[in-house]
Structure 1
């Protein structure tokens, strides 16, 4: 028997999100809110269960794709609605059972450990609300919970209490197994509420303790506005941690950083930069208004206004303004401005002229462009892939390269210029006539 099992409640319909997407799959900082909760859960236990209902198969697939060892249960919502109804027929295999909500992405594992370290039969997360209106009030004495009173049932004196139910519980598992059968849907909504467990436990003479937690950490997400507030909080945490670790940020409030991104060495992010996906940035500068997606950037500078799409490896390289790369491996090159480099490999010493394009797509398939070392690519060049350029090559400006170019060659692929004397005057004189 393990010491702690974690059960995540994620069966709700999330109607206030006004979306067909399950609420717990809405993302903040690159991961779904349920994924954030799962990450915290696995920090304290290897025994994690998720209870689902709405769009069961979709959410189950999302969970197991990232956390394949998670136990998945489906709530019988028609017959047993509510937070306690979700626990119907769950198998508990631990000394303690921690119950958390799947829509609390800011939750901290330290708070969860505090709940689990309580010696009470039932430990309830409680926060001091800045504005307690609407919350169930937790009435305590010397840390012992006396009762939970809903807003509509509270006396005027009880309404002055600022201690609110944060919604997470840690039960002695044997106690939980005794309490659950006693919870009945004796309320207007005809639902089985886990909050009733406190009164039942008190009637049984059991110890119910309040564990005070941070209100912000236990913020629940019920609509898209709350999602935006939570994401901003998470962004601030990510950026504070990174700046304290040595990342330089200019106007950090304008910068977006995915929670999966990693920074190594001395890095700088200028204003309006977005770092999206599982990026690794090492000893590099990302200049104003650039976007980097799921790529490796090492010993390089990008931007301003560069776009690095997924699967790029950029090492020792200067990427200038309005340059876009996708699935590109480049090492010690320069691409100063206004170019698209997709599905390509470019070796050291190469200079990419303004307006260069790798034509990687024929409408059906993607093809690769390989450019060797010390290649000088003139402006307005198109490489029609698949094509391979050797080392020490010059590509004349305005060329459309459709065949391989050997080492040391000059490649010119453009039509001969023809000048027609006096054509301007003849053309416009005939129009005026």
Structure 2
């Protein structure tokens, strides 16, 4: 049977204490809602996101990354609660999976388990050693009988260790029948999705418990939860890449964006941060270096190097305290203390210590072009726009603000001057 997916993302998320919608907070470089959408897209071609709080902002973000998502704008003021969020939602397939947008750790395998079988409703449950504070799911003969809030539990029910994980796969015809019947006649005046379980049991429908791992079904409701989810996601990402052949030194100190990719023999030393959709091939990223949305191939970076977005390093050595921004370096050595921005530098060129490209005049950015086999002496400023042709030598301490032709030496210095015995005149004879 084909599956429709509804993702509930209408809540205000006040415990996040942020002006940003809760579901747009990022985990490993991607909004938590996008993690849920990505998992849903692996099993369904019919995905609806339910919105209310800051709906226009969330919809705009989703549409910038996905083109097949449908939206349902809910009036949560009139229909509060998880059941209220489902009011008026329509799906096209015979079975509907209801997810929460603040559960970014869910995987495809768990979603497939939740949607399998022939029960009228599959309900996710977790076994907890200490279920204190949770409503209990009462199960007999592998069927859910009821959900009992802790305050309503008998002394025997309090020993039950199965609790509701909040995800349901429901035959769509039943969902269309039960949702309009939900009532908010309760202490919170909310419409509870859990009430469909009670309706189904009373009608003799089959409600099947699907046991899931607590880690995957953690809801993110605070900045503390966000940090915990990040730790779990990072462990998954790094475990996957290490199993694929990436070497990591002290992996617990390394950060890798979920969008980053690796090929071949790659080594990441301690403290490395790989951000954005960086792609690294057969390269060595040394301690405490940062790579952001860059392509690095057969190269080494750092320690304490920084490669910023839209940079390409091929067969290049970037040493300590070197920053590269929006530049392409092929076969280059830049050992220390340099800034190379908006530049193209070709094979065999050596960049001395303290070299910078002066690429910004306060209004616009300009290009620096450096050819092959160029030697750029230490403490040189290349004032863009400027072109340095092949086989050029630039003397240390020069400011280059004009193009330099092939084979030339460029030197720009104030002549050195000395004053005899100045030290003694200044400080006095000793």
Q: Give the TM interval when normalised to the shorter protein.
A: over 0.9
Q: Could you tell me how far apart the structure 2 residues matched to 1:24 and 1:129 are?
A: 26
**1:14-413 aligned within 5 A:** 14-413=13-412
Shift of 1:131: 2.3
Secondary structure, in 3 states, of the residue corresponding to 2:156? helix
Secondary structure, in 3 states, of the residue corresponding to 2:208? strand
Q: Could you tell me how far apart the structure 1 residues matched to 2:416 and 2:328 are?
A: 36
Q: Which region of structure 1 is more displaced relative to structure 2, 410-419 or 340-349?
A: 410-419
How big is each residue's C-alpha offset from its partner over 1:306-358, in whole Å with a ceiling of 9 and x where there is no partner?
01111110000111101000001000110000000011000000000000000
CA contact (8 A) 1:182 1:200 kept: no
CA RMSD of aligned residues (A): 1.3
CA contact (8 A) 1:30 1:276 kept: yes
Q: Which region of structure 1 is more displaced relative to structure 2, 154-163 or 310-319?
A: 154-163
Q: Could you tell me how far apart the structure 1 residues matched to 2:125 and 2:330 are?
A: 54
Q: Could you tell me how far apart the structure 2 residues matched to 1:156 and 1:399 are?
A: 84
CA contact (8 A) 1:151 1:159 kept: yes
Q: Could you tell me how far apart the structure 1 residues matched to 2:65 and 2:129 are?
A: 36
Secondary structure, in 3 states, of the residue corresponding to 2:139? strand
For structure 1, list consecutive stretches of 5 or more residues without a partner in the other structure. Answer: none
How big is each residue's C-alpha offset from its partner over 1:132-164, in whole Å with a ceiling of 9 and x where there is no partner?
112221111121100001112111211111111
Secondary structure, in 3 states, of the residue corresponding to 2:106? coil
Shift of 1:284: 0.4
How big is each residue's C-alpha offset from its partner over 1:242-293, in whole Å with a ceiling of 9 and x where there is no partner?
1111111110010001111101001000000000110001000000110000
How big is each residue's C-alpha offset from its partner over 1:379-404, in whole Å with a ceiling of 9 and x where there is no partner?
00000000000000000000000000
Q: Could you tell me how far apart the structure 2 residues matched to 1:189 and 1:74 are?
A: 22
Shift of 1:117: 1.0
Shift of 1:429: 4.8
Secondary structure, in 3 states, of the residue corresponding to 2:418? coil
CA contact (8 A) 1:369 1:383 kept: yes
Shift of 1:4: 1.1
Task: Report how many residues are paired.
Answer: 430
Q: Which region of structure 1 is more displaced relative to structure 2, 417-426 or 41-50?
A: 417-426
TM-score (norm 2): 0.98
**Runs of 4 or more above 4 Å deviation:** none
For structure 2, list consecutive stretches of 5 or more residues without a partner in the other structure. Answer: none
Shift of 1:122: 1.1
Secondary structure, in 3 states, of the residue corresponding to 1:217? helix
